[in-house]
Amino acid sequence: MSVAPMMDWTDRHCRYFHRLLSRHALLYTEMVTSGALLHGDVARHLQFNPQEHPVALQLGGSEPTDLAHCAALGAQWGYDEINLNCGCPSERVQRGAFGACLMAEPQLVADCVKAMVDVVSVPVTVKHRIGIDKTESYEFVRDFVGQVSEAGCSTFIVHARNAWLKGLSPKENRELPPLRYEMVHRLKRDFPQLTIVINGGITTHAQVAEQLEELDGVMLGREAYHNPWWLATWDEAFYGAAASDLSRERVEEQMVDYMTAEASQHGTSWYAIARHMLGLRHGLPGARRWRQVWSDHRLKTLPARQVWQLAQEAVSATA
């Protein structure tokens, strides 16, 4: 089980929150471009809390030498996996000549993977789509996986939709191209030696279990983010862990401790952290009022513990 890399969402605060819910799920960073690491603040992009392990760094880029340098940085900072983004369809990413458009250049992707594999000892993986634009040929994705695997990649995370590079927004690209899970299952049959993980449209325990009968792993994105308490069931359901006595209240308390430490050590506002846990009480009485408190920008100047108290009072008032 893994939580997908999601721009503007899976930052280090989000990952810390998710790790409180599942000890075993693999967590991914937001995509970090090679340019950001080569020319920007490396610490700002790569800093993470040791409690986040296992955690993977997703890179965006298409220059083998640059990616090798960035992969080495990721390994030095302690990431457990380096992942190359070959699935993002946004026009901004395309202008940088990486993301989903790289699927049209499997040899370049293979060169990028080889360059990274040569400089790190952690796994180098690839996240991609099943095709681009209206190309719906299985042979297209089969040949892509085959060629890239020969460069040293043994794990492929496959979003089971095409990426339409023109005419659709990133949001539409997550919803409109049809899901074709059978394409991913076929990849596993053709490449049994590879680790094949599926992503896209999976929102229930039953769907996860069904996919795990065919494949090696399942990656969840927006459903995991908006309904995070689901993660608290994963360790028992999918890793054979003992039943957890974790409660939403205890997780919230731990997040308040984290917010307090972040404010003290880095000057981070609780407001930047709390946004990631707004789904924690999804479906419970008082959840709406609780969310309103934790997302009230007028309270930003208050300490996190005081806001927590207000949130508790809001829940009690609706009981």
| Domain tally, the chain | 2
Sequence-separated (6 or more) residues with CB below 8 Å from residue 78: 48, 50, 53
According to the model, what pLDDT value does residue 89 have? 78
User: 92 and 10, same structural domain?
Assistant: yes
C-alpha to C-alpha distance for 106 and 63, rounded to whole angstroms: 13
Average the pLDDT over each of 3-12, 94-103, 115-124, 178-187 and give the range with the smallest value. 94-103
C-alpha to C-alpha distance for 219 and 36, rounded to whole angstroms: 26
What 3-state DSSP class applies to 85?
Answer: strand
Where a domain ends, among 239, 259, 288? 239
User: 182 and 54, same structural domain?
Assistant: yes
User: 143 and 47, same structural domain?
Assistant: yes
The answer to whether the beta carbons of residues 101 and 90 sit under 8 Å apart is no
Where a domain ends, among 208, 239, 270? 239
Q: Is 163 left (phi over 0), alpha (psi -120 to 50) or beta?
A: beta
For 212-222, what is the mean pLDDT? 97
User: 206 and 284, same structural domain?
Assistant: no
Looking at the chain, how many residues does it have?
Answer: 319
Where a domain ends, among 239, 271, 301? 239
User: 160 and 116, same structural domain?
Assistant: yes
- Beta bridge mates, 281: none
Confidence (pTM): 0.95
User: 85 and 137, same structural domain?
Assistant: yes
According to the model, what pLDDT value does residue 95 have? 60
C-alpha to C-alpha distance for 52 and 141, rounded to whole angstroms: 32
User: 212 and 188, same structural domain?
Assistant: yes
Tell me the residue range of the domain where 287 lies. Answer: 248-318
C-alpha to C-alpha distance for 140 and 117, rounded to whole angstroms: 24
Per-residue pLDDT tens over the stretch 88-117: 877 666 566 678 899 999 999 999 999 999
User: 175 and 305, same structural domain?
Assistant: no
User: 277 and 145, same structural domain?
Assistant: no
Q: What is the CATH number of the domain that holds 134?
A: 3.20.20.70
Q: Which of 14, 88, 112, 153 is catalytic?
A: 88
Per-residue pLDDT tens over the stretch 279-302: 999 999 999 999 999 999 999 999
Task: Say whether 88 is catalytic.
Answer: yes
Q: What is the CATH number of the domain that holds 262?
A: 1.20.120
